[in-house]
Chains A and B, each alone.
Chain A
Amino acid sequence: MSSIRIVARTQSWRNGAVILPLVAVLITLLVTSGAVFAANANPLQVFFEIFIEPFRSRYSFLETLVSATPLFLTGTAVALAFRSGYYNIGAEGQLLVGAIFAAGIGPRLGGVPQIFGILAMVFAGAFGGLVWALIPALLRTRANIDEVVTTLLLNPTATLLVAGLLNGPWRNPVTHFNESERIVAAAEFPILLSRSRINFGFVVAVIVMIIVALVVHRSALGLKMRAAGLSPEGARFNGLAVEGLLLKAALGSGAIAGITGACLVGGIQFRLTEGISGGLGYTGILVATLGGLNILGVAAAGFLLALVNVGASSANRVFGIPAQLSAVISGSLMMITVAVMLFRRYRLVYRKAK
């Protein structure tokens, strides 16, 4: 009797970090081509449209970066928290409150130089996210109340807060639409390249990613945070103030999620709208997990998901297939990647019969 066995690797497979995601993408294509067939389209054409076309068209490529920008940020926010052992599921809510703060200050920045306007927007967003993250963080570090539940529950709370503001005091006085007043020009994030929507928010995202990567991998604080995340018990024994580290990670994560909100208000929407996030905070969890809680990984995963997003909507236009296909593909990609990534630590061994 011959058999295939799964055997633990003695060392995690380094090249696997690059090879396995590619394998996952291939498997995802195979699996989801069934869905594409069912939508009466040719999978080859559709996948070409999704994965290759953006690299051939300047506009699509830049649009992918625009779409990736908030994913970079929320992915980084989640990765920072998870790395430290703080399971922040609340990036969505923190993003929304960041957007509220940015949209609140944005219309009142008339007359300031643009550089200050932008900085004010970013700081307002960061502050909003931090405030929203503070409550669960204190509950966790002071009273040991599980942050997964509290951060999660504050997401719909923030959504309702946005809806309440937009249907109440912040309803646009001119149009009576449920959207807030437009921010002033000085608060707008400038466009980086003409004939595109790529804006200063992308630069903010890259700066944030670089800072977080340096903090996590190079600084003493980062080492302590990682230690607390890997083994709170061991960290405590080594004299680290684990609660303080969790608080820092939670607030840093919230601030970054809040900056995402500011980038959406300042660079894309120019005002607060009800659908401003549409789940970007949740997608951040996906991005962070796919990226292995590693900032380079977050960049790759964020870009890949943005590609699927942008590509699927253009495939929707070109071939008339349902727009939901994007969700089908990114959902499958997520599951398959998580499964395939296990092979960084395991390998298959084929045994012949004796």
Chain B
Amino acid sequence: MSVSTHVIDEPGPITARLIDISKRFGDVIANDRVCLDVRRGEIVGLLGENGAGKSTLVKVLYGLTLPDEGRIEIDRAPSTIRKPSDAIAAGIGMVTQHFSLVSTMTVVENIILGTSRIIIDRDSARKKIVLLCESLGFGVDPDELVSALSVGQRQRVEILKALYRDCRVLVLDEPTAVLAPQEAETLFKAVRLLANSGIAVILITHKLHEVRKMCQRVTILRRGSCVGTYEVAQHSDDELVELMVGRAVEHANHETVKPGNLVRMSVRNLVVESRGGRILDNVSLEIREREIIGVAGVSGNGQSALVSVLCGLTRPTKGKIEVNGHDLTHGKPMDYLNAGVGRIAEDRHASVIAEMSVAHNIVLERIDGFRKAGAIDEKAISTLVQKLIQQFAIRAAPNDPVSSLSGGNMQKVLLAKVLSREPKVLVIAQPTRGLDVLATREIRNMLAFQRVNGAGILLVSEDLDELLELSDRILVMYEGRIVAEFTNSQFDRNEIGLAMTGSGSR
């Protein structure tokens, strides 16, 4: 291919520069002489597959990881950053993939926590925070307890924390992985404002359209090495993917089939009440064979509860659930499994035994079928798992603990487990959250393939593109109810987005 590897020379003064950073974890080379620089007022993208070393690199900048080799320059002067307090002093702020807020404290308390002054003038601190909030359009109540905030709001508090400490470099590690599309919009507006005010931003993401929208330059990592830094406008998405993956990746081209008439799963008038309120309010839906039903909605509008019920984890207050003629209204996980329902829950980590091996995780739900003379038939398990690892292109050995797998590989293990039982019904939530481009494509292809094979699939996702790509019908949830339905001949991004905010026409 013909992507040139020329590095852009631009005027803007360099604020922070990482030079020849190397970091090993045992046998894994997470960073191999990686360079990255970010300039005043610039948003630089950092792209790479899962495990490419993006988080490791920015953790080095923030003093969370000590590099084996390499140096850091801030404003062209060498800087020793050995711990986060050094980084903060040098004007670096970071919002990590996992937040570090104290949920029993208020927003203001969280923000001033850890500032190194002994006496803190609360009132002036509060004023400064309110001003910051206003200028960025963050609707965060400074006196609210963090435990009462949504994920998106918590992220804003993290950003405020960095800004409060007068950071000049702001690192955002996959900020939109946890956000609904609308929240992502708000975030990006604020980030744009910050950049315009002179802050240098490093943005890590797996979504190319975000890079295209926000960044002029992008640095690409592949398996720990730096591929180069590129001008986004000069490269197509395909080229960027090729740079990340190291080879061309075919486009998704899902076979089209007509949904059948056989109803695989029917949910009628489902109600889930909790603390007096209705989380699910009269939800009814039908999934037929060879059909993918997408469920869209801003997070927190009942999608999680719906999935939780259909995975057998939550008991509905009212309603009826039927799968292939079995009544599963009060079903437990085992009943769902026995009825041929494959489930991928929202929280990957809560659906595995992290310390156990890949093999044992795959067979755990049907371990009684792998017994020989009272003992576990490890040989049969290993044969099955080897086969699945190949079939699903999982980068792991059967005996690796699941905790050591990257997000994408963990998700593939879960899919392999579910799909190897040839389920007739699939209930799937956020299948590609946090996954890189290639893994996302692979997983979407698997789902499309299951559909062709006759499965009925309920797909809950916060990624509207995913729903548009895969679904036959899209249902929109708002405040626990299904407020709109679209069929794939009349998918309209704007109308769906409008319905998600509760102001749809239907």
Whose C-beta in chain A lies nearest to the C-beta of B71?
A354
Q: Are B354 and A219 in contact (CB under 8 A)?
A: no
Range of interface residues on A (Cβ < 8 Å): 20 to 34
- A219-B374, A219-B376 given; A224·B367 CB < 8 A: yes
Q: Are B311 and A237 in contact (CB under 8 A)?
A: yes
Say if the beta carbon of B26 comes within 8 Å of chain A.
yes
Q: Using an 8 Å CB-CB cutoff, how does the interface string of A223-241 with B read, 1 for contact, 0 for none?
A: 1101100110111111111
Q: Are B353 and A218 in contact (CB under 8 A)?
A: no
Say if the beta carbon of B119 comes within 8 Å of chain A.
no
Q: Are B337 and A239 in contact (CB under 8 A)?
A: yes
Count of interface residues, chain B, beta-carbon cutoff 8 Å: 33
In the bound complex, residues from chain A placing their C-beta under 8 Å from that of B355 are: 230-231
- A237-B311, A239-B337 given; A223·B354 CB < 8 A: no
Q: Are B350 and A239 in contact (CB under 8 A)?
A: no
Interface centre among A231, A235, A354, by most B CB within 10 Å? Answer: A231
Whose C-beta in chain A lies nearest to the C-beta of B24?
A10
In the bound complex, residues from chain B placing their C-beta under 8 Å from that of A231 are: 350, 352-355
**Least Cβ–Cβ distance between B506 and chain A, in angstroms:** 35
Q: Are B356 and A227 in contact (CB under 8 A)?
A: yes
Say if the beta carbon of A11 comes within 8 Å of chain B.
yes
Say if the beta carbon of B487 comes within 8 Å of chain A.
no
Whose C-beta in chain A lies nearest to the C-beta of B375?
A218
- A10-B28, A236-B333 given; A227·B368 CB < 8 A: no
Expressed in whole angstroms, the Cα–Cα distance for A219 and B334 within the complex equals 20
Q: Are B313 and A236 in contact (CB under 8 A)?
A: yes
Say if the beta carbon of B248 comes within 8 Å of chain A.
no
Q: Using an 8 Å CB-CB cutoff, how does the interface string of B11-27 with A read, 1 for contact, 0 for none?
A: 00000000000000111
Say if the beta carbon of A220 comes within 8 Å of chain B.
yes
Say if the beta carbon of A5 comes within 8 Å of chain B.
yes
Within 8 A of B (CB), among A316-349: none
Interface centre among B333, B345, B349, B354, by most A CB within 10 Å? Answer: B333
Say if the beta carbon of B365 comes within 8 Å of chain A.
yes
Expressed in whole angstroms, the Cα–Cα distance for A230 and B360 within the complex equals 13
Expressed in whole angstroms, the Cα–Cα distance for A237 and B350 within the complex equals 8
Q: Are A10 and B25 in contact (CB under 8 A)?
A: yes
- A10-B26, A239-B332 given; A234·B371 CB < 8 A: no
**Least Cβ–Cβ distance between A239 and chain B, in angstroms:** 4
Q: Are A219 and B375 in contact (CB under 8 A)?
A: yes
Whose C-beta in chain B lies nearest to the C-beta of A220?
B367
Q: Are A237 and B333 in contact (CB under 8 A)?
A: yes
Contact pick for B360, options A9, A223, A233, A240, CB 8 Å: A223
Q: Are B25 and A234 in contact (CB under 8 A)?
A: no
Expressed in whole angstroms, the Cα–Cα distance for A240 and B332 within the complex equals 10
Expressed in whole angstroms, the Cα–Cα distance for A237 and B352 within the complex equals 8
Whose C-beta in chain A lies nearest to the C-beta of B352?
A234
Q: Using an 8 Å CB-CB cutoff, how does the interface string of B348-384 with A read, 1 for contact, 0 for none?
A: 0111111110001000110110110011100000000
- A218-B376, A220-B367 given; A230·B354 CB < 8 A: yes
In the bound complex, residues from chain B placing their C-beta under 8 Å from that of A9 are: 26
Pairs of residues from A and B, 8 with the lowest C-beta to C-beta distance, nearest first: A10-B26, A239-B334, A239-B333, A238-B365, A218-B375, A220-B367, A237-B351, A234-B353
A-B contact pairs, 27 of them (CB 8 A): A5-B66, A10-B27, A10-B28, A214-B375, A218-B376, A220-B371, A226-B356, A230-B353, A230-B355, A230-B356, A231-B353, A231-B355, A233-B350, A234-B349, A234-B351, A234-B354, A235-B353, A236-B333, A237-B311, A237-B345, A237-B351, A238-B333, A238-B351, A238-B364, A239-B332, A239-B334, A351-B66
